[in-house]
């Protein structure tokens, strides 16, 4: 997204509560990857429209997006998975501070393993949000398929990865493999026979895959 357009959209967002500003500042200072404000606002609106009863998030980080989704739909039940122990503890602290521990359950573990456990328990979800290790998106998606209710959706963040998926030749050596994996993922979900997918150029790119 062009910088001038991003600045304009940021100016249209509603005023944030102090706890939101504090979490965003912490994430910025500690270089914790959280959803950018424009994408987060879009995600919250999508949740208000879809009104999912049961949400699964892959990649809790510090609990920012889980809390924002809970704010968008206070009746929704949210399960979030985080592999990093330090971030898991911070997320739990943030969720407890906001009094959301009854709405948001955070699981500490590897998502690939935890998704299989959720499937074996018979859990099912109206919306699954993937925002974790980009190189494992396809693996997460494939495991998530078995957890979806009818007409459910899978949302994947960062699928345009700083615009580099459109111009992979501009990627640094450090990011080259990741960009190729995301390009491969985008191509795969766009051609998936059981889903209709649209990639929305909001923030860092959001893919919405609707189960047929």
Q: Tell me if 38 sits within 8 A of 203, measured CB to CB.
A: yes
User: Residues 56-99: pLDDT tens digits?
Assistant: 999 999 999 999 999 999 999 999 999 999 999 999 999 999 99
User: Residues 92-150: pLDDT tens digits?
Assistant: 999 999 999 999 999 999 999 999 999 999 999 999 999 999 889 999 999 999 999 98
Q: State both tokens at 10.
A: 């940021």
Q: Is 158 annotated as a binding residue?
A: yes
Q: Is 36 annotated as a binding residue?
A: no
CB atoms within 10 A of CB 111: 26
26-37 burial: b if 16+ Cβ within 10 Å, else e: ebeeeebbbbbb
Q: pLDDT exceeding 70 applies to what percent of the chain?
A: 100
Rounded CA gap, 3 and 140, in Å?
31
Which strands, in side-by-side order, build the sheet including 77-82?
104-108, 77-82, 54-58, 125-130, 148-157, 206-211, 195-200
Q: Is 151 annotated as a binding residue?
A: no
pTM of the complete model: 0.93
Domain ranges of the chain: 3-211
Q: Is 84 annotated as a binding residue?
A: no
Q: Is 131 annotated as a binding residue?
A: yes
Q: pLDDT exceeding 90 applies to what percent of the chain?
A: 83
The model's confidence at residue 1, banded by pLDDT at 50, 70 and 90, is low
Q: What is the DSSP letter of 53?
A: S
For the domain made up of 3-211, give the CATH fold. Rossmann fold (3.40.50)
Q: Is 184 annotated as a binding residue?
A: no
Q: Tell me if 104 sits within 8 A of 95, measured CB to CB.
A: yes
């Amino acid at each position: 997204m062009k910088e001038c357009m991003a600045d304009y959209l940021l100016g249209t967002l509603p005023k944030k509560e102090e706890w939101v500003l504090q979490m965003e500042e912490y994430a910025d200072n500690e270089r914790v990857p959280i959803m950018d404000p424009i994408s987060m606002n879009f995600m919250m609106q999508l949740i208000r429209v879809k009104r999912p009863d049961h949400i699964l998030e892959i990649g809790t980080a510090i609990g920012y997006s889980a809390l924002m989704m809970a704010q968008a739909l206070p009746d929704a039940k949210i399960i979030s998975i985080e592999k990093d122990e330090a971030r898991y503890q911070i997320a739990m602290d943030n969720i407890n501070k906001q009094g959301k521990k009854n709405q948001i359950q955070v699981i500490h573990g590897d998502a690939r393993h935890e998704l299989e456990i959720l499937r074996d328990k018979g859990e099912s979800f109206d919306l699954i949000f993937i925002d974790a290790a980009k190189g494992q998106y396809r693996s997460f998606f494939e495991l998530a398929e078995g957890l979806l209710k009818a007409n459910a959706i899978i949302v994947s963040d960062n699928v345009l990865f700083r615009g580099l998926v459109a111009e992979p030749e501009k990627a640094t050596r450090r990011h080259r493999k990741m960009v190729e994996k995301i390009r491969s993922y985008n191509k795969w979900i766009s051609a998936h026979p059981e889903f209709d997918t649209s990639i929305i150029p909001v923030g860092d790119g959001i893919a919405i895959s609707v189960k047929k």
